Structure formats: C-alpha cells, structure tokens
Amino acid sequence: MTIAVSPQALPALVLNADYRPLSYYPLSLWSWQDAIKAVFLDRVNIIAEYEHSVSSPSFSMRLPSVVCLKTYVQPSRNPAFTRFNVFLRDRFECQYCGAHDDLTFDHVIPRAHGGETTWENVVAACSPCNLRKGSKLPKQAGMFPAQKPYQPTVQDLHNNGRLFPPNYLHESWLDYLYWDTELQP
C-alpha cells in the first residue's frame, strides 16, 4: 500500500522538535500553504527549502521542504486501536493467506465465542479468509494467524510504516526519514 504524494504540490515534511517525523505512515506532510502559515506564526523552523518561491508585492520567500516544530509534541504511548493501525501492524497482509487485497479484520476468537475487539484478538484478513473462517475458532477452521495479535507500540507502527514509503520522497527529506541508512563520507 502506497500513499500518493504529488511532487507538484510541494509539500513540507514536518519534523518534531527532536528532528524525527511526527509520523511515518502516513508520512507527516503539510501543504506549502500550511507550512508558510506555521512559519509566520513562529511555530516552526525551516530546515530545507524548494527552489520555488512565493511572492507578495513586498515579500518573497522560498517554499519550505522540511520544517521542524519549535515545541516538542509528545507522541502517544499507545497507538489508537483503529482498523488502519491493525492493518499497519500486520503490514497490510492477510494473516491467514498473505494476500494484500480486499482486507478487513477478523476476530481470532469470534465474538460469538466471547472474543473481544482488542489488539490481542483482531488481525488483518482478506474477505475470502474471513468468510471461510466465519465464527469458528481457529482450531475448528484449521486457520491460525501468521503472527499472534498483539498491542503494538508507536515504534512498531513507525517501523512498519517505513516499509510503505510514499510514491514520492523529495531528496531534502531523506536524511530525516531513514536513520538506518549508510552515511556518505
């Protein structure tokens, strides 16, 4: 799964005050208009700029490509339990067959058997597998998830998000996105 980013839109990568992206998936991007507004409200520092500029009769400014918040935003310790975050935890693949299309989620222990809608009981599943399993227990259906469902940390989701980069990454963003890349001398 890829998030579509239009290079013509000239978005700005938004970094927290510690120079890490607020989010990897979706990548923390602001429109150039929002980035300029934040500059004028003195909420961000400009780290890198595009070649393009905007002008008014009395002012000209290059568009920011990377901005850093002046105030640190404390990341949530526990990610929200959402369908999207379940898919991200499970790397957008069915936990029964590995398919990437037509995803929904499945209660490993079905609700009909007392299963709850929690991180520890819900996995990503394609519709055919979900229908095939139905309200059966894993042993009855002969279907077991590839990984045991668990409550991910924000770091788990960030790490998985790095596996699904947007279709476009501006060169000025690369130093802030992949900390494990080899540095050039």
- Predicted local confidence at residue 155, as pLDDT: 85
Residue 39 lies in a domain: yes
Q: Domain count of the chain?
A: 2
Residue 16 has pLDDT above 50, yes or no: yes
Report pLDDT digits (tens) over 39-76.
Answer: 999 999 999 999 999 998 998 999 999 999 999 999 87
- Return the structure tokens found at 120: 């520890």
Q: Are 52 and 107 contained in the same domain?
A: no
Same domain, 59 and 11: yes
Is 15 found in the same domain as 37?
yes
What tens digit of pLDDT does each residue of 72-114 get?
999 877 888 999 999 999 999 999 999 999 999 999 999 999 9
| Pairing status of strand 29-30 against strand 12-15 | antiparallel
Could you list the residue range(s) of the whole structural domain that residue 140 is in? Answer: 81-149
The rounded distance, in Å, linking the Cα atoms of 59 and 159 is 41
Percent of the chain past pLDDT 70, that is, above it, reads: 93
Structure tokens at 3: 């998030």
* Mean pLDDT value across the chain: 90
Domain at 128, CATH number: 1.10.30.50
The candidate with the shortest Cα–Cα distance to 22, out of 142, 126, 173, is: 173
What span, in angstroms and rounded, lies between the C-alpha atoms of 119 and 124?
11
Gap between the Cα atoms of 21 and 155, Å rounded? 12
